[in-house]
Chains A and B, each alone.
Chain A
Amino acid sequence: MPETEQAQELQQIDDVLDSDYKAGFVTDIEADTFLPGLSEQTVRDISRIKGEPEFLLEWRLKAYRHWLTLETPKWAHVHYPEIDYQSISYYSSPKQNKDGPKSLDEVDPELLRTYEKLGVPLDERARLAGVAVDAVFDSVSVANTFQDKLAEDGILFMPFSKAVHQHPELIKKYLGSVVPYRDNFYAALNSAVFSDGSFVYIPKGTRCPMELSTYFRINAANTGQFERTLIIADDDAYVSYLEGCTAPMRDENQLHAAVVELVAHDRAEIKYSTVQNWYPGDKNGVGGIFNFVTKRAACRGESSKVSWTQVETGSAITWKYPSIILQGDNSVGEFYSIAVTNNMQQADTGTKMIHLGKNTSSTIIAKGISAGRSQNSYRGLVRIGANAENARNHTECDSLLMGDQCGAHTFPYIEVKNPTAQIEHEASTSKISEDQLFYCKQRGLDVEDAVSMIVNGFCKQVMRQLPMEFAVEAQNLLGLSLEGSVG
């Protein structure tokens, strides 16, 4: 890349970073707005402003000091300019509704059109667009109704920062127990400066009666770049959790470094579904979210089960490997993934299945779809520990290419330390063929419907894993993400 171009690009990225706090931050409550910059003092300030207990501040500081010793990971198949961590603001209160549009008429029609196509209900659209929702419908009481109902069963579902105050013993016990702050560069950064996130605890023997979703919590849409989610399913508990709404978040933030920790005790089951559609940047790759996320689950108890299902269509760069540590005997791990990249997007995503217990089994189904000039990599590790008798893994990795300027890559790593392991790995690469498109068009479908249908067919195994309502939105989203990529 010529130097001027690179300088320009850096400038543009700076601009976007700048616009973050110019446009997006609340200015009238001074204490809630931090100037850009990261130091030990920043970490102390975050902790103080949230009134956190001492143990949490200590933990944040340890993480921060550790982070200082680390370097940005370079191994992923993604390229981006160096991030200036001093140019980011590390704390802002959620955007206030009163600064947002007052009615749907004031919202960017383009944005509304997208929501409409996604099939998001009108009141939800208003909420996502940041309209002062109280005027449209009472979202606060909606959210509360759910929380009260859940509380009757002893289920805890609340913002992370609230849990810190109400259930410090649980936070102390589980925070960092799956993803230690030392884990990696972004996890360390997140541990030092995380703003908020979700906390879920399902008590013993309880089956959560509804899908828990950030969808229901209005603040989640505006939660900052460094979310922290912790979900614990106690013995014989079950929960299905949906992350993210499918609507594009026109968030100005550049870096998104979340951490998600899941803990499943004896015979517990956690289903975690994500539909990620952060802003991917424009056609030329300017702007967009850098999504560097650490997600990990511990199947701690015997016969416990965790499934990650993800549909990744957004972000300029995705760096994400939802993983499962299969500690308990007979525990089961599943990873179902669809990663779509278009234009200049880059995705390096996959999973790690770490088999430690006996008779543990894991399934990996990864579907990558690349269009435009994007790069889509699957990176997966299956490790069978020495004591993991009779461990089994089945991996299927399929790539679908649209056009000839994109790239699909597969990096499978397999480490086996126990001879009883059974491991299967299948991989395929295909293209949407001219024949398939013509066939659909000859049956009266236009190109976009045809592409979306073929792509959804390709993704069926994964789509099936999503809860019903989510699947419909995810299907529409696939179509939207690939709009204009063929024909």
Chain B
Amino acid sequence: MLEIKNLHASIDGKEILRGINLTVNAGEVHAIMGPNGSGKSTLSNVIAGRDGYEITQGTVTYKGENLLQLKAEERAQRGVFLAFQYPVEIPGVSNIYLLKAALNAVRKYQGLDDLDAIDFLTLVRSKLELVKMDEEFLHRGVNEGFSGGEKKRNEILQMALLEPSLAILDETDSGLDIDALKTVSDGVNALRSSDRSIVMITHYQRLLDYIVPDFVHVLSEGQIVKTGGKELALELEAKGYSWVNKNA
């Protein structure tokens, strides 16, 4: 699904990613952990195609295609989804409008017609249930006045609707209370499937109790310094990030 080789990326001449290697196969769930500032969001942004990063070395291949050549929207249309760490507010644009535009953009790429209003609403309602969101959220401005937890749920709602092949969740757990964390995790777990890969970026081990990963990677100063199974997260929790740095 996703193959990253020796990826180096810098911003304003400052190197942030310093040789990332990562292979994610279809159906796998990977967790990337690391201290603040280690480059987790940078990695997500580079995969998703945000402007402003200079890729100085390395390759990113997605479904056999060179991802780095594609524009952000082209990546999205091909099934790359990023759940944002800080979802932005878009005042006046209703949530349902964005959902519809997003779904139609993906469908268009897949050669499908737009869904008609009724089919669309039926579909959205079923997804709302998954993340336990009220229908009134559809008619509010995108993330406008949403609480932290509502914003994160809204990201998972979009993911559920768009059914991406590769979902990157950037600290979807941070700022959630335990109930919200459960809801969001249930939502993500429901979306696990043999043809979908999930990369979870998190700061805390807590999330991994709910969404159990196949692999755990530790990112430090722009490099993956350690890879293991789910038990690595526990070890990390016990010993702290300084432990991996010493072992690297």
A residues at B contact (CB < 8 Å): 433-436, 438-447, 449, 453-454, 456-461
Contact = CB atoms under 8 A, between A and B. Distances in A.
Given A434-B51, A438-B51, A441-B76, A457 B93 contact: yes
Nearest to B104: A444
- Chain B contact surface mostly: mixed
A167 to B, nearest CB: 44
B109 A444 contact: yes
Contacts of B93: 453-454, 456-457, 460
B92 A460 contact: yes
Question: Considering the complex of A and B, which 3 residue pairs feature the smallest CB-CB distances, nearest first?
Answer: A457-B92, A444-B105, A457-B93
Contacts of A440: 90, 98
Interface band, chain B = 20 to 34
B126 to A, nearest CB: 19
Which of A433, A443, A458, A460 has its CB near the most chain B CB atoms (within 10 A)? A443
Contacts of B158: 443
Given A453-B97, A453-B101, A454-B93, A442 B88 contact: no
A440 B72 CA distance: 9
Interface of B: 48-52, 71-73, 76-77, 81-82, 84, 86-88, 90-93, 97-98, 101-102, 105-106, 109, 141-142, 158, 162
A460 B92 CA distance: 6
A111 B162 CA distance: 36
Contacts of B90: 436, 439-440, 453-454, 457
Contact of B76 (A444, A447, A456): A444
A444 B84 contact: no
Contacts, number: 78
B86 to A, nearest CB: 8
Contacts of B102: 443-445
B108 to A, nearest CB: 8
B92 A443 contact: no
Given A442-B50, A443-B76, A453-B93, 11 more contacts: A434-B52, A438-B72, A439-B84, A442-B49, A442-B73, A442-B84, A443-B162, A457-B90, A457-B91, A457-B92, A461-B92
A461 to B, nearest CB: 8
Which of B48, B72, B84 has its CB near the most chain A CB atoms (within 10 A)? B72
A434 B141 CA distance: 18
A442 B48 CA distance: 7
Contacts of B109: 444
Contacts of B141: 457
Nearest to A487: B51
Nearest to B88: A435
Contacts of B88: 433, 435-436, 439
A449 B51 contact: no
A442 B142 CA distance: 14
Nearest to A460: B92
A336 to B, nearest CB: 14
A47 B158 CA distance: 65
7 contacts: A442-B72, A443-B105, A444-B77, A444-B106, A453-B97, A454-B90, A459-B92
A149 B209 CA distance: 72
A441 B71 contact: yes
B101 A439 contact: no
A444 B73 contact: yes
A441 B49 CA distance: 9
A442 B76 contact: yes
A443 B73 CA distance: 7
B101 A449 contact: yes
A454 B51 CA distance: 19
Nearest to A430: B91
B73 A445 contact: yes
Nearest to A453: B93
A445 B97 CA distance: 12
A442 B73 CA distance: 6
B76 A438 contact: no
